[in-house]
Every structure is written in C-alpha cells, then in structure tokens.
Amino acid sequence: MATHSSSPAVRRLSGWDHDRLLGLAADHSTPLYVIDLDRVRENYRRFAAAFPDAEVKYAAKAHTGSAVLSTLLELGVDIECAAAGELRRSIRAGSDPNALQYTAVNPPDADLDCAVELAADNPGLTITAGARDTFDRLAARGYDGRVAIRINPGIGTGHHDKVATGKDAKFGIPYDSVPGMAESVRSRFDLVGIHAHVGSGVLQDDLDDHCRALARVAEMARAVGDLEFVDFGGGFGVPYREDEDPLDMGTVGERVRSSISPLEAEVVLEPGRYIVADAGCLLTEVNTVKEAPSTTVVGVDASLATMIRPAMFDAYHPIRNISAPERETRAVSVGGPCCTSADVFCTDRPLASPERGDLLAIGNVGAYGYELANNFHSMPRPAEVAIDGTDTRITRRRETFEDLVRLEQG
C-alpha cells in the first residue's frame, strides 16, 4: 500500500536547514530545542496512510508541548494520555475530553480523581487499567463508565529492555487472567476495549516479535468478545543510527493487518515516537576542547539535564557540527557540564573537528527529549522553538533561576 507521502521516511541531520538552525541559536541562545511542526504533520500523514482503517491516537507522553498537541488536534488526531497532567494539557490544547483515553499505570489517587471528575461531565472519556486494584479504586469512587483492560501479552519488543513493556509485569493484566478479569469488569463498568503496548522503538528486526505479540492480543480480544475497540498501542520506531533503515510503513501496515485479522472491533494505534522523534533537534554550543591521552573531549552547554536519553537508555543520537560540517573529521567524545561520567552524548565518534564556539546539533530528540529534561545541578530547562513553514515561534521560554526556586519555602 502506498504511503501517500513524498516526504522522506526519516529525516537525517543533514536534511535540516543549517543556516536556519544557526540563526535560531543566535537569536535564542543554547541549549535550544527545535521542533518542526511540518515534519510532525508529514510523519502523521505517512503513518495514517499505512493504517487507513484504524483510529490513530497520539501518545502524548512522547512530546506534550502545546504546539505539537494543537498541530495534531487540527489534523483530527485524538490523544492518549498516561497521566492526569497529560489529560489537562490535551484539554488545554483544544482536545474534546470525550475523545481522550487515559491509560493508567499504577495511577496515584490524585490522577484517578482527575480522570473520574472529567468523566462525570464527559462520559465519552475512556479509562484503561492494568490491575484489579485500579478497577477497585475506580469503583470506590463511584465510577461505572467506559473502561478498557490493559493486558500483558508476555512478549516485549523494542530498542531497550527498559521499554519492552509487553513482558514487564508492571504493565497489564497477566494474559491467562484476562477472561476472568473481563467478566468481573463487565459486572461493574462499561467494558469497551482491550489495550496492550508491546514495546517502543520497533524497527525491521523487531517486527516478527511485534506482530506475534499483536496476534496474541487480537486472539484474547476475540475470546473476550463484544468490544468496541482493540488498542494495540504504539512502539513503531525511527532509525536513530545513520546506517539503520526506516520502516516501510506500507509493509508494516500489511504485516499488522495480517497478524490481527479477523477482528470485528475497531483497531486503535498509538504512535508517539514515530510522529515526533525526527521532528526535533537539540542545538548546543561547544565551550571546551580538551586533548586527553585516550580521546578528545568536547564540552558543550547541553547536558543530561537537557537530554537524558543517552545516560538513561544508553541511547544513540546522531550529532553534527552545524558550524563546519565539511571540516576534517576526528574521533571525539562529547559531554556536558554535569558532575557525572554519565553526562556524555557520544564516545570516540567521528565528527567534523569541533572548535570552541561551534554549534552542534543532536538529532531525533523530538520524542522523550524535552519530556525528560530536568533540573540537575539547579540547571534551568532550555527554551524550545517551533518551526512552522516560514514562521518560527517560541513555544517554551528558557527557565530562569527564579523559576527553579519559586516553589521553595523556608
């Protein structure tokens, strides 16, 4: 099936407008996140074209910025939320609460209170739960509305064990317990769906396991029966490494449909990373170049407080010297100003030889980049700008020290 999109299936750092990035860094300082809303639209349209008969919900946790959420809402995309804050953000961006899906994982009381209160006035909202305790807590709040059961298919896939949720006991009802759980849930709530999420960052080599897990989910959905939808989650990846090929979404769509058919209920998919990852880059300035016996250390003003994925997941992110991409390359290690050896973006990687004052771009940070930014070392979080055609606007201002201490007392 054709994807009906002429945009490349993955955007490399070489595909960004370097002059524009240099101008943004000059105007807004660094570190600086850049999100390209045109690319968000392209990625969504390519994905939706591969699954023309499915409902696509954007997994907000990948990037909850209002510019991204509102852009997708304008395209008619509904939102899947994993926490109460994401419910509130989605509504603030213009979402109809009746179209939201709240997928709870060990939800705090305040989160459940928020979801139940929203559902009281918006009965179309769906609450997904993956533990008997969560259903009991919902019933104790007087909730008897729309629910979905999150199931654990026992198969996990993805780029790292920490995201292979399909085999992690934290996520979902154990597979063999689902029929009994469904009977209990139906006696207390309006059971409208089955939900599962197998893992994250799925590429071609993971597709066989991914489809095998989806087939188990579909099998259980058929056994439970009388469902409005079956939500197969997201997990479709993008190639972070330059030598990795992007998914052929037309082929992926055919593989997924073959794995889950026949299915009477509506198919729901929740892409997050696929929509936003390569729509974002992080700009950072070189402040130190140090020759050491084992490597050349390149110090930059971004850190694991700015973008933690390499430290947290041992994740690879492409890096490019935007100031001088044609300069002779040499192997360097790029790290930030945090007082830990984990604050490293790459080790001994060939890079156009950086000099103090050069601007580096770190690619594929649109998913779980700003979302995982933090204030380690009392570092203010960076600014974010959105590119929208020929326009550029600040979507998140740079934090100040006063922002960091505003909530402190005593």
56 by DSSP, 3-state: which?
strand
Rounded distance, CA 194 to CA 232, Å? 8
CATH of the domain at 254: 3.20.20.10
DSSP 155: -
The domain boundary, picked from 271, 304, 331, lies at 271
Q: Do 231 and 299 share a structural domain?
A: no
Residue 354 to residues 200, 281, 326: CA-CA distances in angstroms? Answer: 33, 18, 11
| pLDDT of the residue at 6 | 57
Rounded distance, CA 333 to CA 89, Å? 37
Rounded distance, CA 101 to CA 228, Å? 13
The type of residue at 73 is L
| pLDDT of the residue at 157 | 52
Q: Do 157 and 242 share a structural domain?
A: yes
Q: Please check whether residue 283 is in contact with residue 322, taking contact to mean a CB–CB distance below 8 angstroms.
A: yes
DSSP 369: T
Residue 301 in domain: yes
Residue ranges in 156-229 assigned as alpha helix (H): 178-186, 207-224
DSSP 187: T
Q: Which helix (H) or strand (E) holds 129?
A: strand 126-129
| pLDDT of the residue at 363 | 98
| pLDDT of the residue at 154 | 80
Q: Do 285 and 248 share a structural domain?
A: no
Rg (CA), the chain: 22
Residue 33 in domain: no
Query: What are the two backbone dihedrals, phi and then psi, of residue 152, each rounded to the nearest 5 degrees?
Result: -110, 105
> How many folded domains does the chain comprise?
2
Rounded distance, CA 240 to CA 278, Å? 9
- Domain containing 189 equals 96-271
Rounded distance, CA 162 to CA 314, Å? 11
Residue 220 in domain: yes
Mean pLDDT by 10 residues, the chain (410 residues): 60 97 98 98 97 97 98 98 98 98 95 98 98 97 98 66 53 93 98 91 88 94 97 94 94 95 96 98 98 94 98 96 97 98 97 98 98 97 98 98 93
The domain boundary, picked from 219, 243, 271, lies at 271
Residue 316 in domain: yes
Q: Do 282 and 223 share a structural domain?
A: no
Q: Please check whether residue 115 is in contact with residue 124, taking contact to mean a CB–CB distance below 8 angstroms.
A: no
| pLDDT of the residue at 199 | 78
Q: Do 297 and 219 share a structural domain?
A: no
N-to-C CA span, the chain? 62
Q: Do 310 and 205 share a structural domain?
A: no
Structure tokens at 396: 């998140």
Residue 390 in domain: yes
Q: Do 373 and 285 share a structural domain?
A: yes
Token look-up 């505003």 returns: 406
Give the residue from 23, 21, 33 showing the smallest Cα distance to 367.
33
Catalytic residue numbers, as ranges: 339
Residue 102, CB half-sphere, CA atoms under 13 Å: how many? 34
Q: What is the pTM of this model?
A: 0.94
Q: Please check whether residue 362 is in contact with residue 307, taking contact to mean a CB–CB distance below 8 angstroms.
A: yes
CATH of the domain at 340: 2.40.37.10
List Cβ<8 Å contacts ≥24 apart for 52-55.
52/1, 53/267, 54/266, 54/267, 54/268, 54/269, 55/229, 55/266, 55/267, 55/268, 55/269
154 by DSSP, 3-state: which?
coil
Q: Do 214 and 175 share a structural domain?
A: yes
Q: Do 102 and 167 share a structural domain?
A: yes
| pLDDT of the residue at 169 | 73
Give the residue from 237, 335, 243, 245 showing the smallest Cα distance to 284.
335
| pLDDT of the residue at 3 | 37
The domain boundary, picked from 243, 271, 299, lies at 271
Q: Do 283 and 247 share a structural domain?
A: no
Rounded distance, CA 215 to CA 204, Å? 17
Residue 90 in domain: no
Query: What are the two backbone dihedrals, phi and then psi, of residue 29, each rounded to the nearest 5 degrees?
Result: 70, 180
Q: Do 137 and 240 share a structural domain?
A: yes
Q: Do 118 and 219 share a structural domain?
A: yes
| pLDDT of the residue at 80 | 97
Residue 69 in domain: no
Residue 245 in domain: yes
